[in-house]
Chain A
Amino acid sequence: MLQNSFYDIVHSDQGGYTIRFNASHPIFSGHFPERPIVPGACIVQIAEELAALTYGYPICFTAIRDLKFRQPITPDQEVTIRVRKATESTCEVLCADSKNEQQLIISFKIYTI
């Protein structure tokens, strides 16, 4: 669970969560020592945790399709992550800069159980 250690939710509305990273978290000392960047895999993990909040029950991501990383995220950047349920077993995740949600950073489709 990365919530409340690696990141905090600072705002939420209708399936969208704006989060702030904890720049002193040990993950940043390893990724990367002289140039901290939010690991893309952490955004996927955060999305899995936020999907559980959106759905109201635990969600397990089992497959991914069409994930695109468009630009790096720095620890001081606030991002908004939206999890949209598409079908019973699929959802779409969008991660954008919270100041400009048109500026998509990461997007992917997920299969869940």
Chain B
Amino acid sequence: MSEHRDILAYLPQRPPFLFIDTIEELSEKNARTRYTISENCPLLSDGILPLAGLMENAAQTCSVIAGNRIAYLGAIKQMEVKRFPRVEETLCTEAVVRQQMLNISLIECTTRVQDETIVTTTLKIATMDNNATK
């Protein structure tokens, strides 16, 4: 569990559905995360992380920007996978807020393995104040 120590304060997801290990950078407008694909990842398919897993990694990276507000993935405008990563490879995913209107953010995500860009995603995230739901 200790490897998830940094992330648990920022996301409501818990293992085995956690697709981020650490937050490398965080501001109001961007976040950069790392995730080493675990062999226990529930979306692994023959040792490869399929599009669905890459989507969850991007969505959770976007959610980190929301901080203690609740973030909902509302839409994915586009997502393109250039290469599917294997178990044990480390994803570095960067999310940048491009537009914001009321509680909806349009966010661009890029996922790299070392210097190679393997996924680009454009998502819409809606946020809600945490206390509004309680």
Compute the total of residue contacts between A and B using a CB distance below 8 Å.
84
- Report the Cα distance A26→B80, complex, angstroms: 28
Contacts of A45 in B (CB 8 A): 43, 45, 50, 52-53
Q: Could you say which interface size class chain A belongs to?
A: 20 to 34
Chain A residues whose C-beta falls within 8 Å of the C-beta of B45 in the assembled complex: 1, 45
Please measure, in the bound complex, the distance between the C-alpha atom of A7 and the C-alpha atom of B87, giving whole angstroms.
Answer: 23
In the bound complex, residues from chain B placing their C-beta under 8 Å from that of A63 are 51, 78-81
Chain B's nearest CB lies how many Å from the CB of A31? 4
Let me know if B51 and A30 touch, CB within 8 A.
Answer: no
CB distance from B5 to the nearest CB of A (A): 16
* Contact residues in A for B12 (Cβ distance below 8 Å): 32-33
Q: Do the beta carbons of B55 and A44 come within 8 Å of each other?
A: yes
Distance in Å: Cβ of A37 to nearest Cβ of chain B: 10
Q: How far is the CB of B22 from chain A (nearest CB, A)?
A: 17
Report the minimum CB–CB distance from B55 to chain A (whole Å): 5
Distance of A34 from chain B, by nearest CB (Å):
9
Residue of B nearest to A5 (CB): B42
- State the Cβ distance, A79 to closest chain B Cβ, in Å: 16
B-side contacts of A60, CB under 8 Å: 50, 84
Q: Residue A55 at the B interface, CB < 8 A?
A: no
Interface size bracket, B side: 20 to 34
Flag the segment in B68-76, B88-96, B98-106 that touches A: B68-76
Q: B17, A27: Cβ atoms under 8 Å? A: yes
Within B15-53, which residues are at the interface with A (CB < 8 Å)?
Answer: 15-18, 42-43, 45, 50-53
Inside 8 A of A108's CB, which chain B residues have their CB? 76
Residues of A18-51 contacting chain B, CB below 8 A: 26-27, 29-33, 39-42, 44-45, 48
B residues less than 8 Å from A40 (CB atoms): 55, 59, 73
Q: How far is the CA of A61 from the CA of B76 in the complex (A)?
A: 14
Most B Cβ at <10 Å: residue of A27, A41, A69: A41
10 nearest A-B residue pairs (beta carbon): A30-B17, A45-B52, A67-B76, A41-B56, A30-B14, A31-B17, A44-B52, A64-B79, A61-B51, A41-B52
- A residues in contact (CB < 8 Å) with B: 1-2, 6, 26-27, 29-33, 39-42, 44-45, 48, 60-69, 108
Interface residues of B (CB under 8 A from A): 12-18, 42-43, 45, 50-53, 55-56, 59, 72-81, 84
